[in-house]
Chain A
Amino acid sequence: NAGVTQTPKFQVLKTGQSMTLQCAQDMNHNSMYWYRQDPGMGLRLIYYSASEGTTDKGEVPNGYNVSRLNKREFSLRLESAAPSQTSVYFCASRQGRGSYNEQFFGPGTRLTVL
């Protein structure tokens, strides 16, 4: 039981390049999330998927797109990377909408945009 896995662990991009961050969970969770973490800013929600086939914007969606490929996988795409997108990205999952369902995080992807 691997929990939430993310690939890659590290990535360096040049401004304007594109890339996709991959996330998968093996806990049969319905909802999945993408956050970015910046110093002094905490965790900010980029997009989330309440269930397979649905996605919704979070607090900071500009410059990103997501795909909920199936129940297990939720990918985050940067179409044209900018230095402001340098951050650590975390994927998370939880069972559903109930407040008391724990949210599980992946190990993160550290992205640098030059």
Chain B
Amino acid sequence: QQQVKQSPQSLIVQKGGISIINCAYENTAFDYFPWYQQFPGKGPALLIAIRPDVSEKKEGRFTISFNKSAKQFSLHIMDSQPGDSATYFCAAIFSGTYKYIFGTGTRLKVLA
């Protein structure tokens, strides 16, 4: 019940295309769903996050879509650029705990 399942494990997209990464969770107590971006040799950094009372959040080319009934959320990267090549992690947390639950990560490569 504490897992967050992330797919795909890796993704190759052409420049200008749309990258889509999916996550699914079981624990309905989760109340915050952040996405982290990690470049090689660096620590993860917060990219965008959503609360479960919102179905979509957009920041620039990055959008989170949230489906509460299906217990799924996804990251969409529009007009993908080579600079977006990184590993992306979804995560979940609920306010009664200090612990984030992370997905296993998706390595994205955007071809020039």
Contacts and interface: CB of A to CB of B under 8 A. Distances in A.
Interface in A86-114: 90, 92, 97-100, 102-108
A108 B95 contact: no
B interface, over-half SS: loop
A37 to B, nearest CB: 8
A90 to B, nearest CB: 5
B98 A43 contact: no
Contacts of A40: 9, 104-105
Interface residues on B, range: 20 to 34
A43 B44 contact: yes
B43 interface: yes
Contacts of A106: 43
Contacts of A90: 43-44
A50 interface: yes
B1 interface: no
Q: Looking at A44, A92, A105, A106, which has the most chain B CB atoms within 10 Å of its CB? A: A105
Nearest to A9: B41
B89 to A, nearest CB: 6
Given A40-B9, A43-B89, A98-B95, A103 B104 contact: no
Given A90-B44, A108-B42, 17 more contacts: A4-B43, A41-B104, A42-B102, A42-B104, A43-B105, A48-B98, A48-B99, A92-B43, A97-B97, A99-B31, A99-B32, A99-B94, A100-B32, A102-B46, A103-B46, A105-B44, A107-B43
A75 to B, nearest CB: 17
